[in-house]
Amino acid sequence: MHLRTTLLSLLLVAAATLCSGATTAAATAPETAPAPYPAPAGGTRPLNLEIGGEWVGNGISFSAYRRGQSPHGAGPTEEQVLEDLRIVSRHWGLLRTYELTPANEAALRLARQHRIPVRFLLGIWINPEKTPEDRARNEAQVSAGIRAAREYPELVAGLLVGNETQVEWTGHPVAPEVLLRCIREVRAGTTAPVSVADDYNFWNKPRAAAIAAEIDFITLHMYALWNGRGLEEAMEWTAGIYRDIQSRHPGKMIVIGETGWATSHDPAKSAPGQEAALMKAPTDEASQLVYLRQHYAWVARHRVPTVLFEAFDEEWKGSGSGKNPLEAEKHWGVFDENRQPKSSFRTLLREVPFATRRL
């Protein structure tokens, strides 16, 4: 959801209506199961989500930016990145990032230097290529991802090429041929498993097959909250979407790469496609606690690799730093922007001390 615009259009509203829970998801699955994909060139690469024999597939989205910082502005100091790594590594062993930035490259270096027991799903940010400069930026991201995977093989569990570039409502649509070129370059340059991260409303379309055929695993985004679901049906809906995508891509490992529950939203953003129109359930810490209980119980029961969005609130997101403090994009963390655990997360850990990690 990195840099997600709020251009969630009526198309998303319609899609949410169609996917109205596990029953609907099953009903819209293909009548005849597709044949399994042939392995990508060179064979399917396994995704290793263990550290010292411990399964760490319970992940978290990691971003070390504080107030006044952002990926393309002033960044965190190495001391701040290290502080954040130490905070999250107490609870999670799998961290997801979105772009090769100085802060995220520092996180790899510091994790090795300080022997922090984590692995990374490392994001490679891909933008539309409208100019030669756009292509150069994408190539720089691809090169940086390959370099990181080669330099830190014990830390980089997998590489995610592109984030929400194919779903219809994206604010940064990338031509499929551009994305495929980047996937092939990354797979040719490293032995790490490679994926693409996108919303379920891309992966449930026939056109997703061309992308899925060339990657080692699918990274799936789905938010019950964004799709108008209440807490009482959130995990049923989530599980139904997961099963639907499984049925459409037989033989492909699926990692849930984004899901979660925000603790605020702006009620004034009520136009069609905006957050107050899409979100039908409360957004507060008590509601986040209810969701977290369901989320971690489901992951423990099914052992599905899942990345919760996200560790820390990010004040720079949405409308930007210093603007619209209520909007949801700034409030998905289980820690606030001051690195203090929200009451939802404190209560969860009091109830189930190892909920986030040891399964």
234 within 8 A of 225, measured Cβ to Cβ = yes
Identity of the amino acid at 23: T
Structure tokens at 141: 């991201």
Please tell me the number of Cα atoms within 13 Å of 58 on its side-chain side: 23
Q: What does the mean pLDDT of the chain come to?
A: 92
Q: For residue 231, what is the DSSP state?
A: G
pLDDT tens digits along 72-116:
999 999 999 999 999 999 999 999 999 999 999 999 999 999 999
Residue 196: what pLDDT? Answer: 99
pTM of the model: 0.91
CA-based end-to-end distance of the chain: 26
The helix (H) or strand (E) run that includes residue 25 is: helix 22-27
DSSP states of 274-341: SHHHH--S--SHHHHHHHHHHHHHHHHHH---EEES-SB--TTSTT-TTS-TTSGGG---SB-TTSPB
Identify the CA nearest to 258 among candidates 219, 229, 201, 295. 219
Between 102-113 and 78-89, two packed helices, what is the crossing angle to 10 degrees?
60
d(CA 135, CA 139): 6
Greatest Cα-to-Cα distance within the chain, rounded to the nearest angstrom = 54
**Residues 31/249, Cβ–Cβ less than 8 Å:** no
127 secondary structure, DSSP code: -
pLDDT at 36: 84
Q: What are the tens digits of pLDDT across the range 245-281?
A: 999 999 999 999 999 999 999 999 999 999 999 999 9
Report the pLDDT value the prediction gives residue 229, as an integer from 0 to 100: 98
- Find residue 157's DSSP bridge partners: none
d(CA 170, CA 142): 21
**pLDDT given at position 1:** 57
Q: How confident is the model at residue 157 (pLDDT cuts 50, 70, 90)?
A: very high
Q: What is the pLDDT of residue 19?
A: 40
Q: What pLDDT does residue 146 have?
A: 98
User: Which pLDDT score is estimated for 359?
Assistant: 42
Q: How far is Cα 26 from Cα 122, in angstroms, rounded to an integer?
A: 32
Nearest CA to 84 out of 75, 76, 74, 72 is that of 76
- pLDDT surpassing 60 at residue 10: no
pLDDT at 41: 87
pLDDT in tens, 176-234: 999 999 999 999 999 999 999 999 999 999 999 999 999 999 999 999 999 999 999 99
Between 37 and 242, the more confident residue is 242
Reported confidence tier of residue 28, pLDDT bands at 50, 70, 90:
low
Task: Give the pLDDT confidence of 272-324 residue by residue, as tens digits.
Answer: 999 999 999 999 999 999 999 999 999 999 999 999 999 999 999 999 998 99
Domains and CATH numbers, the chain: 57-351 (3.20.20.80)
pLDDT of residue 14: 35
Predicted confidence (pLDDT) at residue 15 exceeds the cutoff of 80: no
